[in-house]
Structure 1
Amino acid sequence: MPDPDSKTTATSRPTRQRRGGRSEIVRGKVAESVLSFLREGRTDFGVAEVAERAGVHRATVYRWWPTRGDLLAEALTEHGGRLALPDTGSWRGDVSAACEAFAEFLTDPVELALTAALAAHTDAEADRAQFEYWAPIDDQLRQMVRRAIDRGEVRPTTDPRVASLLLIGPISTYALTFRAAPPPDMLAGIAEAITRAHAL
């Protein structure tokens, strides 16, 4: 999982263009085209390939997304928006729900391709795009921890970054190794360990 606090996000990533008056139909086609390459395990696609698969004029794609990094950022924004962690009202409930949500999310072919590329450090543009899009996902986890602190369920000294890494780390490792979600009993064990580790 990318570290949102890494300097890479602040110093290296390409600047995203504002959508403004872009056609949502074109944007959606292009984003889905990029995601389809990622589902195939490919992060080395070119702008021209994306244009052809999306059925969009190449000049349009180059104008709105001049680099592969821009295309990745657009597609991953679309992909990451599909993950929403529920507020169950309790620390135990939130952790359990988050484990289940991430087990499904991290075994999506898009995530598996990105995690493999990130682990191998063979695709700098994919790394940069993933660092950016992961930030709001990580923020959801940190908010979950802060809610629990505010409710008095979790120690005030708990570092949200550590708690989020403890949750995502084993699920991500299992997903990348076995190309599958951890079995329910393992997910329950991860959730129980995290709940107890930080509870008052």
Structure 2
Amino acid sequence: MACEDVVFGEGPDDLLLQELDILELTTEDESHLMLKEWPVDAILEEIDFTLSEFWVQVHNLPLAYMTKANAEKIAATFPGLVELDFDSEEPVRWNGVLRMKVKVNVEDPLKTGFYLQRKYKPSSWVSFKYERLPDFCFHCGRLGHVNKDCKFRDDGRKKGSYGHWMKANQLKKASVFKGAPSKNPNFHKRKEGEEEAARSIHVEGASAKL
């Protein structure tokens, strides 16, 4: 559910906006509350409520791929990157997940993950989990309604693609190991072969192959 209520005031309170951003607002009935700043040169109908921000966790990614460069490549499959949970140039994380704050189109099905093509091993599934994810439809993967109210039942979408497993517990900034960056030539290489690596990612959900 996208809330388009507007609060009027004399001007923005930066501290309040920061506090609201930290809260990642979800209402008591598990609806998602979207708050947008009103540009001074825009009318109400021009304010865009299609994009909202979520912290997304990337699970089942092999350790060698957990670099900042790879996180940016994965984040590029979303409409926009807001923040990466990294604190140095090329750290490798200890806790087994990458974490990024991205913009999500609330009118599209949620992205569930992608298949990672590995050079010497079979392809593996890498899943996305969303922090503070409100109730959503397990059939079509969209926010704003649940299964019984779904109008997209005939879209040919595979059953079982969406479920409660896409909800993640909120994490604090994770510890990182500031060691050498990954040397994996099939994914991390940023010059030669960069496009080949990008084409090896297939994103399930609203978008297709990169």
Same fold (TM over 0.5): no
Q: What TM-score range do you get, normalising by the shorter chain? A: under 0.3
Q: Which has the higher contact order (CA 8 A, sep 6+)?
A: 1
- TM-score (normalizing by structure 2): 0.24
More strand by share: 2
